[in-house]
Amino acid sequence: MLEELSVAEARHAENVGREVVLQGWVRTRRDSKAGFSFLELNDGSSFGNIQVVADGKLENYESQIKHLSAGCSVTVAGLLKQSPGKGQATELHASRVTVHGTADVETYPLQKKRHSFEFLRTLAHLRPRTNTFGAVARVRNCVCNSIHQFFQEEGFLYIHTPVITASDCEGAGQMFRVTTLDLANPPKRGPQVDFARDFFDRPTFLTVSGQLEAEIFACSLGKAYTFGPTFRAENSNTARHLAEFWMVEPEMAFCDLDGDMDLAERFLKRIFRDVLEKCPEDMQFFNQRIDKTVIETLRRIIDSRFVRLSYTEAVEIFRASDEKFEFPVDWGADLQAEHERYLTERHFKCPVILFDYPRAIKPFYMYVNDDGRTVRAMDVLVPKVGEIIGGSQREDRLDVLRERMLEQDLDPDDYWWYLDLRRYGTVPHSGFGLGLERTVQFITGMANIRDVIPFPRTPGNAEF
């Protein structure tokens, strides 16, 4: 009986002796002088390939098998045997090789062993066939699975918050407009475009965060999380910014900032542990070829306690250091990547949770401390990537929240439903947002965020 196996399964020694069928894409073909060929086959199930031994006596050996090249798709039936080769437990001795699609050696772009990541970005439709992008896809998948498992085990409800929204959660005005109006001839009200005549009878945008809606559910049902794409129209051409990225946002009722930081720390450690355990081969690859420190870094973090430091204490550290910063670090200024990196890479050499930021540089929804000048915000900073989590205890006092909105030029009437949560049964509550891509970047050591999302959206780039 022929059994369909994945390449990952077929590579296990325990399957030696089985008659199996494997399907995938050829990575390389080598011909032996003894009249047979070796095919390296990959189907995405694991980093490693399986070696297929195709005998010259197979009926399509001369016509097809001998011409197979990188990118060709095949189904191979045969017997799994113990491999005499080093670094592989098994190999497949083919009894039949069916060729589904060929890939012209002259034009198939992935002939060369190594291409630059920049070049591969122009081939978003083919780059998943490379070692690196296969490994990134598996690690990303593992992280997503881990996210859901963690929150399910912790008793959070998975909720779905809208992609199209009328409110600017971060109050930063960096939103993509959603409209069906005829841009060449929009309805006007005076000199202004009349968005009251748009599809939703009001101006609408792609969401920058599901937080406000997650708060609704936390303030009704206790613990909730949302996980989905979020959008920011900031013109940031950096290795850490995307215009479309994925964010997971837990929100907890009856929880203060300390509880929020505890959750964030537990959550990150869980994700790192899962990836090391479930993707050892992919992580080995990243550790060898991308960044020689990633495995050791993750292991160390799992066993350590994150440093927790107030913004004010951080400013003291910058002041006392001999480091020449490009931007000055006066109390009240937003921190730049150079400051974050100084803390995590040089001063503490580990993740740092910074909390209690100046109120003027943080959004309206953060709880104002008794000192009146700081808010209960927290950012989790990690070496190299910088901020991967941003969160806070939420302002749960109606009057203070209204005041903060006015302070940031937001109209409280637009947020009447958000204010209602403080009017009826208000509770202390907290939450945060973890950027999925920055997390995958940190885990894998990939330098550019565009290489850890299948189809990056950045200024000027949306082809694939």
Task: Provide the binding-site residues for ligand 4AD, judged by CB under 6 A.
Answer: 169-170, 209, 211, 232, 241-242, 245, 247, 249, 387-392, 431-433, 435, 437-438
Q: Which is closer to Mg ion, CB of 300 or CB of 308?
A: 308
Q: Which is closer to ligand 4AD, CB of 16 or CB of 124?
A: 124
DSSP state of 12: S
Structure token digits, residue 267: 């959550």
Q: Which is closer to ligand 4AD, CB of 43 or CB of 395?
A: 395
DSSP state of 62: T
How far is Cα 116 from Cα 323, in angstroms, rounded to an integer? 33
Nearest distance from C-beta of residue 443 to ligand 4AD, angstroms: 13
Q: Which does 435 bind (CB under 5 to 8 A by kind): ligand 4AD, Mg ion, none?
A: ligand 4AD
Q: Which is it for strands 50-55 and 3-4: parallel, antiparallel or unpaired?
A: unpaired
Mark the segment that binds Mg ion (CB under 5 A) among 159-167, 170-178, 318-326, 387-395. 387-395
Nearest distance from C-beta of residue 119 to ligand 4AD, angstroms: 23
Nearest distance from C-beta of residue 294 to ligand 4AD, angstroms: 18
Token match 């910088």: residue?
386
Report how far apart, in Å, the C-alpha atoms of 327 and of each of 9, 177, 306, 343, 381 are. Answer: 53, 33, 26, 15, 18
Q: Which is closer to ligand 4AD, CB of 52 or CB of 385?
A: 385
Q: Which is closer to Mg ion, CB of 285 or CB of 306?
A: 306
Contact 270, 146 (CB under 8 A): yes
Nearest distance from C-beta of residue 434 to ligand 4AD, angstroms: 6
Mark the segment that binds Mg ion (CB under 5 A) among 221-229, 259-267, 340-348, 385-393. 385-393
Contact 239, 438 (CB under 8 A): no
By CB under 5 A, tell whether 383 contacts Mg ion.
Answer: no
Q: Which is closer to Mg ion, CB of 49 or CB of 230?
A: 230
Q: Which of 250, 363, 390, 456 binds Mg ion (CB under 5 A)?
A: 390
Residues 6+ apart with CB under 8 A from 184: none
Q: Which is it for strands 177-178 and 429-435: parallel, antiparallel or unpaired?
A: unpaired
Q: Which does 437 bind (CB under 5 to 8 A by kind): ligand 4AD, Mg ion, none?
A: ligand 4AD
Nearest distance from C-beta of residue 451 to ligand 4AD, angstroms: 13
Q: Which is closer to Mg ion, CB of 275 or CB of 388?
A: 388
Q: Which is closer to Mg ion, CB of 44 or CB of 171?
A: 171
DSSP state of 425: S
Q: Which does 388 bind (CB under 5 to 8 A by kind): ligand 4AD, Mg ion, none?
A: ligand 4AD
Residue number of the CB atom closest to Mg ion: 390
Nearest distance from C-beta of residue 391 to ligand 4AD, angstroms: 4
Q: Which does 389 bind (CB under 5 to 8 A by kind): Mg ion, ligand 4AD, none?
A: ligand 4AD
Q: Which is closer to ligand 4AD, CB of 198 or CB of 340?
A: 340
Q: Which is closer to Mg ion, CB of 48 or CB of 390?
A: 390
Q: What are the φ and ψ backbone dihedral angles of 11, each rounded to 5 degrees?
A: -80, -10
How far is Cα 176 from Cα 293, in angstroms, rounded to an integer? 38
Q: Which does 403 bind (CB under 5 to 8 A by kind): ligand 4AD, Mg ion, none?
A: none
Dihedral angle computed from the Cα positions of residues 53, 57, 58 and 63, in that order, rounded to the nearest 10 degrees: 110
Q: Which does 386 bind (CB under 5 to 8 A by kind): ligand 4AD, Mg ion, none?
A: none
Nearest distance from C-beta of residue 84 to ligand 4AD, angstroms: 47
Counting beta carbons within 10 angstroms of the beta carbon of residue 321, is it exposed (0 to 12), middle (13 to 18) or buried (19 or more)?
A: middle
Nearest distance from C-beta of residue 444 to Mg ion, angstroms: 22
Nearest distance from C-beta of residue 403 to ligand 4AD, angstroms: 20
Q: Which does 70 bind (CB under 5 to 8 A by kind): Mg ion, ligand 4AD, none?
A: none
Residues 6+ apart with CB under 8 A from 214: 159, 161, 224, 225, 226, 249, 250, 251, 431
Q: Which is closer to ligand 4AD, CB of 41 or CB of 353?
A: 353
Q: Which does 444 bind (CB under 5 to 8 A by kind): ligand 4AD, Mg ion, none?
A: none
Report how far apart, in Å, the C-alpha atoms of 99 and of each of 67, 77, 212, 460 are. Answer: 10, 12, 53, 39
Nearest distance from C-beta of residue 390 to Mg ion, angstroms: 3
Nearest distance from C-beta of residue 342 to Mg ion, angstroms: 18
* Identity of the residue numbered 189: R
- CA-based nearest residue to 443, from 383, 379, 389: 383
Q: Which does 45 bind (CB under 5 to 8 A by kind): ligand 4AD, Mg ion, none?
A: none
- CA-based nearest residue to 441, from 391, 384, 390: 384
Dihedral angle computed from the Cα positions of residues 385, 306, 248 and 278, in that order, rounded to the nearest 10 degrees: 80
- CA-based nearest residue to 168, from 110, 103, 234, 120: 234
Q: Which residues bind Mg ion (CB under 5 A)?
A: 390
